[in-house]
Structure 1
Amino acid sequence: MGERWCAGISRLVGVLREAGEYRLVVTQPVAAGACLFTIGGEVTGTPTRYTVQVGAGEHIDVPPDCGNDEVQDLFSWRFMNHSCEPTVEIRGRKVFSVRAIGPWQEITFNYNTTEYEMVEPFACRCGAASCQEQIRGFRFLPAAERERLRPWLAGHLLSILDSELDDRHVVGH
Structure 2
Amino acid sequence: MRPVPLPAADCWLHPDVEVRASAIAGRGLFATAPLAAGTVVSRLGGRLVDGAALRELFARAARERRYVDTVSVGEDLHLVLPPRRPNGYGNHSCDPNLWWLDAYTLAARRDIAPGEEVTNDYAACTAVADFAMACSCGSALCRGTVTGADWRLPELRERYGEHWIPLLRDRIQAA
TM category, shorter = 0.7 to 0.9
Tell whether 2:149 aligns with 1:130: no
Give the conservation status (yes or no) of the 8 Å contact 2:12–2:87: no
Q: Which one-letter code corresponds to 1:99 in the other structure?
A: R
- Who is 2:121 aligned against? 110
Provide the rounded CA distance (Å) in 2 between the counterparts of 1:16 and 1:9.
14
Provide the rounded CA distance (Å) in 1 between the counterparts of 2:79 and 2:141.
27
- Who is 1:15 aligned against? 19
Tell whether 2:45 aligns with 1:40: yes
Question: What number of residue pairs does the alignment pair up?
Answer: 148
Give the conservation status (yes or no) of the 8 Å contact 2:91–2:119: yes
TM-fit CA distance, 1:123? 1.7
- Off by >6 Å, runs of 4+ in structure 1: none
Provide the rounded CA distance (Å) in 2 between the counterparts of 1:22 and 1:8.
18
TM-score by length of 1: 0.73
Evaluate the alpha carbon distance shift between residue 132 and residue 50 of structure 1 in structure 2; reply closer, same or farther with a 3 A threshold.
same
Q: Which one-letter code corresponds to 1:123 in the other structure?
A: A
Percent identity of the aligned residues? 25
Is the radius of gyration larger for structure 1 or structure 2? 1
Provide the rounded CA distance (Å) in 1 between the counterparts of 2:95 and 2:81.
26
Range 101-110 or range 50-59, more displaced: 50-59
Evaluate the alpha carbon distance shift between residue 31 and residue 127 of structure 1 in structure 2; reply closer, same or farther with a 3 A threshold.
same
Q: Alpha carbon RMSD of aligned pairs, Å? A: 2.5
Provide the rounded CA distance (Å) in 2 between the counterparts of 1:85 and 1:161.
19
Give the conservation status (yes or no) of the 8 Å contact 1:146–1:161: no
Provide the rounded CA distance (Å) in 2 between the counterparts of 1:10 and 1:29.
11
Q: Structure 1 unaligned runs (5+)?
A: 1-6, 165-173
Matched ranges for 1:41-56 at <5 A: 41-45=46-50, 46=54, 50-56=69-75
SS of the aligned residue for 1:14 comes to strand
SS of the aligned residue for 1:147 comes to helix
SS of the aligned residue for 1:152 comes to coil
TM-fit CA distance, 1:146? 4.8
Evaluate the alpha carbon distance shift between residue 118 and residue 100 of structure 1 in structure 2; reply closer, same or farther with a 3 A threshold.
farther
Provide the rounded CA distance (Å) in 2 between the counterparts of 1:56 and 1:108.
25
- Who is 1:59 aligned against? 78
